[in-house]
Each structure stands twice: as C-alpha cells, then as structure tokens.
Structure 1
Amino acid sequence: MSTASEKKTSDYLFTFECPDRLGILAKVSNLMFEGGAFVTESFHYGDPHTEKFFARMVFDDHVLKTPVEGLQDRVSELAKELEMKFTIRPASYRPKVLIAVSKYDHCLNLLLTKWRAGALAIDIVGVVSNHNDCRSLVEWYGIPFHHYPITPETKPQQEAQILELFASTGAELLVLARYMQILSDDLSRKLEGRAINIHHSFLPGFKGARPYHQAHDRGVKVIGATAHFVTSDLDEGPIIAQEVKAIDHTYTAEDMVLVGHDTEAIALANAVRLFSEGRIFLNGHRTVVL
C-alpha cells in the first residue's frame, strides 16, 4: 500500500543530436548516472554519411538527485562541449496540433478517432479548411472548425490566417490531412519541420497530381502512401512513414483510389504518432526515426 510520504515517479523524454564523435554516449551516460536519472529506454544512431549523432532516451526521477531543472542545467553545459541540440520534457507531454483538410475526410477521420480513443497523445487545437464539407464531423468531436476559403487571388491572405491561427493556438505541428492546396514557399519555410503532409503515392514515385492514375498507367503491383515533412519543393520533403498495399492488373484507377484511402490514413496517423513521441529527427533530406 502506498503512503503519502512515497514520492510519485515521473518519466521524462530526453532527445538530442550533435556532430558525431568518439565518446558521446559515455559522456551522456555518465552525466545521467551522476545525476540519478534512471534510464528506462535508450535508442541512438550515428549517420556515417552526415556525421551526425541522434539519441532518444526515457528516464524516471525516482532516484534523481536534484529537480529535473538541475539535470537540465548540467546537460546544457555538456551541450556546449558537444555542440548538441537537446530537449528534456515530461514523457506525458502532448504537443498541440492544427489539422488542415479540404473535402476528403478519411485521413481526418482516423486522426480524430485515434485521438479520441487515446491512441494519439496530442491535443488537437483546431481544424482549418478551405471548404465546409468536414465541419459537422469536426464539431461532433467538439473541436473548433475554421473555414478559410481560398482563391488564387486571396492565397497570401488565407495563408496568413492559417499562420496566425497556428501561432494563436500554440500549435507545434500542422497536419495536412488531404489538404488539396499547395503551400507557398514562404509558408513552407516558416513551418519547416513543423508541417506534415500525406501524399497518395509511394514517394519518390508518382509525384504531383493524380498519382493513382499515373500508377495505373504504369501497371504497378503495389500502391502506397507517404507521410513527409513539407518543404518548398512539392512532394520532396523528408519522408517519415510509408504504407503499401498489393494490387493486381484487375484494379482500375478508381479501385486504387478507394484502396489507397486506408494506406493514406494509416501512414499519416503513424507519422503524427512518431512526432508526438519525439521519435523524428531531421537529417538533411532524410529523417532518422528512433
């Protein structure tokens, strides 16, 4: 039986990246040991091509010698020596997410379902759309819906509204859940590393519009979907998660579209989960997922 004097244990997530060199793990592990951080998970990767080192650790504080802020101060000192970028946050932290959608609701629906079931540890701060088709679905979940119509002439003003909403809600991630508008170079740069898109193709194949029809014309035997970070280069952003489905010669392009709904929704939901768990690291044009 627990008593009031027993300390409640809290878990923390520690992620970092730095130039690769000999002894990084030894220095970090020694610091954690001396500080009393009880490590329960540890994953790392050193990329021989980019010469960067990435790590993700989970630790609890049941034998921590100082408040976690004290440990953070010690890591900050080591970070100067190792040229390290790091974060330490409660493992229970839920990033704030803004979702953008147009008319297709299959990706949005799975995100909302998983969020409500507790399978996605995020706080959805709103859904923005250039159409009203998904309003009733979003409001049924009790989430604010924002209708921002767009035309070629009003694109700069509409994107400014999205950026303002992103900032005012404290959002940390914009999820394009089949949002059928190409973000401008300016907005893509401002949200670098903080915007995830789903493309209905197994990139890098069949970029751009009507990828299922492109795939059908080539007689592919596997179709897929790719969740990736948004960049100013269309469908070229670092890939986070992919899903595939086997098909055969009997599938029409329309059949492929319907089958693809599942792969799109699953790939996007997986990417959002990986982001929420602090598992994604940008590594040039690629990602490291730990």
Structure 2
Amino acid sequence: MPSGEPSVGAGRRAKAVAVVAATTVVVTACVAGSLLLGGGGDNAGAVASTSHSPTAPAPASATPHVAETERPVIPGWKVVVNPDFGTAFDVPPDWDVKPPSEAYGFQDRKLDPDDPRNWSRFIIAMSGYALLRDDWCVPDIDENGRVVGSELAGAGTKGAQGAGDTGQVALNGAPKWVYGGYTQPDKKSIVSDRTAKPYTTKSGVKGSIAWARSRNAPRRNACSTDGKAVTFGFRNSAGGYVAWSLYGATGVRDELPDSTIMRILGTVRLHGKPRKP
C-alpha cells in the first residue's frame, strides 16, 4: 500500500482522460480504476472528441488557469477557476492546477478506455480541478496490460442539474467519488453520511456538505487504498446547482488531513457569470 514513497502498482482507478478545448483527448498515466473524461452536459463542462493520444501532453490552452483579477483567499495558495459554473476555490501551493478547459473523472473499470464509444460513459466527472501529487503512485501495469498510476487527492466542480436541493447534491456526489476512485466494483465497503449538513464558506456561499469513506475495500494490488470524499452542494449566481468535491486516499502516511480539506472547502466562492445553468 502506498505510504511515504510512491509504491508500484495500480488497479482500482485507471487512466486520467483530459479534454482540452473540446478538441483533443489526452490520456495520462495517473489514477488506478478507470478515469474518464468529464464529458458532456452538466457533469463537467467538456465534450470528448475522436482524437486519442495515450502519451502526448495536453496542448496549451488559450484559456488561462486563473483570471488576472482573481487572487487566492489564502495568501500563497493557488486559485482554481471553473468559468462554466462560475466558481473558484484555493488549493495549497503543492497542488497542480489544471486548465479550466480540461475535465477529469472516473469511468467504469470494466469498460475499455481505448474504445471511443466509452469516452462519454462515466461514473462521475468534474472540471475546474486540481490534483495533489499525481505521481504519488508510480505507474505500473494493471491486469489489462495498461500503464496506470494514482494521485494522492483531487478536487474540482461539476454541475448538478436536476437536483432538488443542495443536500441532495452533496449526498449524491461524495459516495460516487469513493466508489469510482477506490472501491469499484464493491459498494458494501462505502460508509456515507445519511443526511447532509448545512455549511457556509468564508465568502458566504451557503449550501450543504456530506462525506463518504471506504473501509477495508477489496485490494487489487499494491497501489490500492481506501478513500474518502466530501461534496459541497450549492447554487451559483445563475441559480444553478453546483457540486464541489474533494477526494483522496486514506490509511496512508501522506493522507490529506480532514482539517486541510475543510480549509480548502472554506475558500469555495462564486466567480464571474456562469456559462452554463
């Protein structure tokens, strides 16, 4: 199991698929189960194309990571912006902030990630995201012969159209991140909040939060871990429901503390006019 130094292995999560400006799909060796692009609709704000490159780096995006006028709430931290849903939040300086035109999510590990027909089939996805130590687990070969690996944690936002309230957004999101990233195909090891709790960020955004964690999930290889996730459901300036989520590995020496997660969550704020409902 991963601890201080990255350990070899992979499995529960698989490949990260990023969509850049909705024109190029880029697969990188990061996350062990099956990561998929956060394609269409309200889930991530990106659409897959038919260009697929397992090794090429993502082309430079014309959209900057952060608006020049946006400053972190916490000095020295980095700002993550999602212009599609009009949100922003901060992450510590050791996180890697991705371009807002990229999307990221978990695909059913039984599906072939190299099949274009599966690019829009995902368990959950997000955009406007950042990753913590995406080389934390050294890439290795999974049971399907693919090179995969894992980051320590990730956070981002997605739309939640159709939700009835912010509590529903929170309760629906957290267990899906744990299932997609750490336990699939097992669901019995996931322990989730049954009710969401009211929460207000430092900027005054009101909504609801819920947690989910896995306990003793089946291990497929040396890189498998249990995981945790928290989702904050709220409304953006256009009145649309939005889900902010953070997931991470648990039971490891480098586990992201809940106190740090809550500090990151506290920086979630509205930013600009949403491009989507």
Greater RCO (CA < 8 Å, at least 6 residues apart)? 2
Of Structure 1 and Structure 2, which has the larger fraction of its residues in helix? 1
Of Structure 1 and Structure 2, which has the larger fraction of its residues in strand? 2
TM over 0.5: no
Q: Give the TM bin, normalised by the shorter chain.
A: under 0.3
Quick check: which has more Rg, 1 or 2? 1
TM-score in terms of structure 1 length: 0.26
